[in-house]
Amino acid sequence: MNIFRCTILSLLIIVAFNSRGLAQAEVDSAYIDYVNSSWDEVQATEYDDSIQTKYASEFYEYYLSHEETVAGKKALQSALMMWGNTGNVAMMDEVISKFKPDSDVWAWVPNSLGHAYVGDSSRTHQDAMKKLESLKDYVTNPVGKSAILTSLVRFYKRNPDTHQKALEYAQDLVEINESKWFVDLGLGAIYELESLGVGQAAPEFTATTYHGEEFNLADHKGKYIILDFWATWCGPCMPEIPVIKSLRETYPEENLTIVSIALEEDSEKYDKFLTENGMTWTQILQEKKREDEIPTLYNVGGIPQKYIIGPEGNIVAKHLRGEKLTAKMDTLINRK
């Protein structure tokens, strides 16, 4: 009889536990739907700061009482993104100061923190990197630590004066070995720093343009070349299109070749975008995105990305955007 009672009790405990699990799953699902719908509202209002601030505060409060649930972590991720979008450095700094070193939420911090610091008129991107530097040794979660190192590598490899630091952090990424994605990123950065520096020979390639013509990089030696890596889905790429268009209108083909290389899967959307935006210069489609031939040759991890190649076939500049790109081309071509 005692055995029978114990069995019944055990079954009741299991049923109750499973019921709580199912109930929590339903709560998670409902709140995740709510978070997703909030993003629809944010997008519909063109990322209105006041709406994002309201939702970010609400989502963070939900996270504090549901830290271990799927919905709680989804809420925190969205809160961090919204504080990043609105440049709310104060809230970002306050919240991350409470995260434990081994927490898996660190993976979401670097990008949002970078956006927050850039969005605050009193801060700079460099300030954000200093903040990440201070967190690099504190964070022990391998995904979070790798995410922090990734941001630092991408920032430091832009400046020749900090290439050695970028190389060290890229090697750290490989040694942590958290995932193939991070290892490949580290190896790619090492390859770029050692083989794609200013003054080194630009990797040559031959490709079929979107309009069916053959493009051979070697055929364009003797003039300057801009390799412009972009995509229709890339928000930061959009302000660069008028810059490239202006350069195409300013300098004749005998002085400057411009090749836009799109990391794009949706060829129909791509085709429509080219037509609507009058992008008539040389276009090459890379449907495997970053894993395709040309992005791999030039270690394109993030876009927009540009390489400027000189008349002798060597890289003369990279990582330039907007006015800096325009000024550099004016200096190079008019000096020539």
**The pLDDT value given to residue 3:** 46
Tokens of residue 87, six digits = 């440049």
- 258 membership: H or E segment, kind and range: strand 256-263
**The pLDDT value given to residue 24:** 57
Give the three-class secondary structure for 297.
Answer: helix
Q: What is the CATH number of domain 206-335?
A: 3.40.30.10
In angstroms, the CA 62 to CA 192 distance is: 43
In angstroms, the CA 200 to CA 313 distance is: 9
In angstroms, the CA 218 to CA 220 distance is: 5
Q: Give the residue extent of every domain in the chain.
A: 2-195, 206-335
**The pLDDT value given to residue 26:** 66
**The pLDDT value given to residue 37:** 93
Average pLDDT across each block of 10 residues of the chain; the chain has 336 residues. List them in order: 49 46 65 92 91 96 92 95 95 95 95 92 92 95 96 90 94 96 93 92 94 93 95 90 94 94 88 91 89 91 92 94 94 80
**The pLDDT value given to residue 15:** 46
